[in-house]
Amino acid sequence: MDVPAEKKLKWVFLILAIVISYGTIGYTIVEGWSLLDSLYMTVITLSTVGFQEVHKLSYTGRIFTISLVVLGVAGAAYTIGVIGQFIIEGELRKFLGRKKMEKQLKEIKGHYIVCGYGRVGRKVCETFLSRKVPLVVVEKNPECEKDLTQKGIMSVVGDATNDSVLIASGIERAKALISTVVSESENVFITLSARQLNPQIFITARTESPSAEKKLLRAGANKVVSPHEIGGQRMALITLRPDIVDFMKIVGEDEKTGFGIQEMEISSSSPYANTLLKDSSIRCDLGILIVGIKKKGEMIFNPSPETKIEAGDILIVMGENKQLEKIESSS
């Protein structure tokens, strides 16, 4: 069985501590020396610096010194072997990288957590990476860690149904969680745990059946998505309305086309708050199209010029990314 590098390193320090303790306690008992003299004798013996003995050794003391040297040589051989393996296999770099990532995970906030790095999870991560969204992946398969590290994605190896694993991913400071694991029961557990650990988090969960969708919503999911259902609808639309699908693809791949669709919430301090749509100059000054306005749960599509924009409204806007960034900063 392959022992993790971190565990091997712990063994190195443990063996060193045992050998030093063995020598120090042994000299104290065998020779009756003080702890400081015993420790000093142990260190100079193990380091083979060649200093003179602290006190003259008895016959029993010499035998004990021989046993200490044998143990020290064995421990040194193991230590050299482990360090050599770290250097040759890059384990030391991996270990230090993991420690750095653990520190980043403790500090990150406002990020998105993706549970599961399968086919659906990978696509979610690709989209987030293209939009430079802060991201943490939770995956139980340790073989995925290397791929995630190469892509610059922070990760936690473990079962997302375990609260301690979610806490390690920064669930209490996260903005949203997406559960893409295949098992519907695990999705329900993950949703329940995430909602309890962070009542404010936005949760999107994967489902395969209508019955599971209801359970996920009751468990606390904000949105439930069926990849099979979306895939079927997309195939039908491609066949019936191919030009519409091409337009949707352009909007969805805004990092490539420079054109996209976003949502923005109007704050009370926004210059657009409490103004009529026709007086907001959003369309004239920025060339941005307002597709819809969400007011207290009600969505107004293609709002009329007389529609009033109020604080708390969510505008669904479409246009060039540069213009979208301008209006988002002023909302």
pLDDT of 16 strictly over 70: yes
Maximum Cα–Cα distance across the chain: 104
**pLDDT score for 261:** 79
Spatial neighbors of 28 by CB under 8 A, at least 6 apart, are 34, 35, 38
Residues facing residue 318 across a β-bridge: 261, 289
**pLDDT score for 25:** 93
Beta strand spans in the chain (E): 112-115, 135-139, 154-157, 176-179, 202-206, 223-225, 259-265, 275-276, 289-295, 298-301, 308-309, 314-320
**pLDDT score for 2:** 56
Phi/psi of residue 154, each to 5°?
-70, 145
pLDDT of 69 strictly over 70: yes
Phi/psi of residue 210, each to 5°?
-60, -35
Question: What is the domain partition of the chain in residue ranges?
Answer: 5-89, 108-230, 256-329
pLDDT confidence of 5, banded at 50, 70, 90? low
The answer to whether 272 and 309 are in contact (CB under 8 A) is: yes
pLDDT of 296 strictly over 90: no
* Mean pLDDT (whole number) for 268-287: 80
CATH of domain 256-329: 3.30.70.1450
Higher-confidence position of 236 and 97: 236
pTM over 0.75: no
Least confident of 83-87, 89-93, 106-110, 172-176: 89-93
How does the average pLDDT of the chain come out, rounded?
A: 84
* Mean pLDDT (whole number) for 157-180: 94
pLDDT confidence of 117, banded at 50, 70, 90? very high
The CATH number of 108-230, from 3.40.50.2000, 3.20.20.100, 3.50.4.10, 3.40.50.720, is 3.40.50.720
* Mean pLDDT (whole number) for 104-128: 92
pLDDT of 169 strictly over 90: yes
pLDDT of 187 strictly over 80: yes
Degrees (nearest 5) of the Cα angle 9, 15, 16? 95
The CATH number of 5-89, from 3.90.800.10, 1.10.150.530, 1.10.287.70, 3.40.50.12780, is 1.10.287.70
**pLDDT score for 92:** 60
pLDDT tens-digit map of 35-50? 998 898 888 888 777 6
Q: Would you give the distance in Å from CA 172 to the centre of its chain?
A: 13
Whole-angstrom distance, CA of residue 294 vs CA of residue 298: 5
**pLDDT score for 273:** 85
pLDDT confidence of 193, banded at 50, 70, 90? very high
**pLDDT score for 122:** 93
For residue 44, the number of C-alpha atoms closer than 13 Å in the C-beta half-sphere is 13
Whole-angstrom distance, CA of residue 183 vs CA of residue 215: 13
pLDDT confidence of 217, banded at 50, 70, 90? very high
Least confident of 12-21, 106-115, 150-159, 273-282: 273-282
Whole-angstrom distance, CA of residue 35 vs CA of residue 54: 12
pLDDT of 224 strictly over 90: yes
pLDDT of 178 strictly over 70: yes
251 to each of 17, 47, 233, 244, 255, how far by Cα in Å? 61, 68, 17, 11, 9
